[in-house]
Amino acid sequence: MEQPIKILIVEDNVIIADDMQSMLEEIGYEIVDNVIVYEQAEKVLKSEQVDLVLIDIILASDKTGIDLGKHIRENYDIPFIFVTSNSDRATVENAKTVKPNGYLVKPFEQQDLYTSIEIALSNFIYGTAKSSEDGNVSDDDVPMSNSVLKDSIFVKKQHLYYRIQFGDIQFIKADNVYLEVNTVDKKFLVRSPLKDYLEKLPKNKFYRAHKSYIVNVDHIDAINSRDIMINNNLIPISKDFKEFIISSMNS
């Protein structure tokens, strides 16, 4: 099932932090926690699933938001955005050293916050996938903890990205330039070639059963000479896939 993006807020001004949390929850994001210092943020990152972090550069501790950004870059594979009142050249240059996924200057409106988050997520997801395709990132290079692409994939629905657990995807159908991603209880439209999408999915669960279909073998309910059934949907299969399934059943 789809899950909203989980956000950690690190902001030492509690009024601003609470205001940000209200804005984000109104849009549809989930706030994992709302903390004021580096050490608290470090604990949350260790113990909770976090998809994105909003960080004030100046914190109520010896360590700054830039220190936290460096910690995230070195230990986690998640995007973060600096949210700060400081836009002077020195602060910006210092912030650039840890390569944030965004930089938002206070005061800001809800739409500014939403836009910064969505662009950061979109660029991060595309960049992660592109690096994998180019051979620059292997599974061993990505930390297991808080890795947003280890057990799920992001799908955009209306104005938000949702995380879909791989296990909830039943089958994927190609329809012209779009793919119809069918989960246990919902459908999502994705613009992608079927072959490219298959490469993003676990190879031991997802197979191209037909030129127009990818299926999750864990969800196959029945099979005959021409089709398989998944959640009362008849899906055509190729001869090779049929032989593969029958062989797997008999092994």
Cβ-contact 91, 131 below 8 angstroms: no
Residues with Cβ within 8 Å of 70's Cβ and at least 6 positions away in sequence, in order, are 97, 98
Question: Given this model, what pLDDT does residue 24 score?
Answer: 93
* Mean pLDDT, residues 202-230 taken together: 92
- CA pair distance 221, 236, nearest whole angstrom: 14
Question: CATH 3.40.50.2300 residue ranges in the chain?
Answer: 2-132
Stated as kind and residue range, the H or E segment containing 24 is helix 14-27
Cβ-contact 99, 92 below 8 angstroms: no
- CA pair distance 129, 102, nearest whole angstrom: 19
82 by Cβ neighbours in 10 Å (0-12 / 13-18 / 19+) ranks as buried
Cβ-contact 231, 222 below 8 angstroms: no
Cβ-contact 78, 68 below 8 angstroms: no
Phi-psi region of 230 (alpha: psi -120 to 50; beta: other; left: phi over 0): beta
* Joined tokens for residue 207: 């197979």
CA 136 to chain centroid: 19
* Mean pLDDT, residues 182-187 taken together: 88
Question: CATH 2.40.50.1020 residue ranges in the chain?
Answer: 169-250
**DSSP tally for the chain: helices H, then strands E:** 7, 16
- CA pair distance 223, 220, nearest whole angstrom: 8
What's the DSSP call for residue 149? T
> Topology of domain 2-132, per CATH?
Rossmann fold (3.40.50)
**Confidence label for 185 from pLDDT (cuts 50, 70 and 90):** confident
Amino acid in the structure at residue 157: K
Question: Given this model, what pLDDT does residue 193 score?
Answer: 84
> Topology of domain 169-250, per CATH?
OB fold (Dihydrolipoamide Acetyltransferase, E2P) (2.40.50)
Amino acid in the structure at residue 137: V
Per-residue model confidence as pLDDT tens digits over 118-170: 888 877 765 444 444 444 433 333 332 333 445 777 777 666 677 788 899 99
Q: Record the pTM.
A: 0.57
List the alpha helices (DSSP H) in 97-167. 110-134
**Confidence label for 228 from pLDDT (cuts 50, 70 and 90):** very high
Question: Given this model, what pLDDT does residue 192 score?
Answer: 80
* Mean pLDDT, residues 22-42 taken together: 94
List, in sequence order, every beta strand (DSSP E) within 51-151: 52-55, 80-84, 102-105
- CA pair distance 38, 61, nearest whole angstrom: 7
Length of the chain: 251
- The better pLDDT of the pair 111, 69 is held by 69
- CA pair distance 41, 38, nearest whole angstrom: 5
- Does 236 sit behind a cis peptide bond, omega within 30 degrees of 0 on the bond before it? no
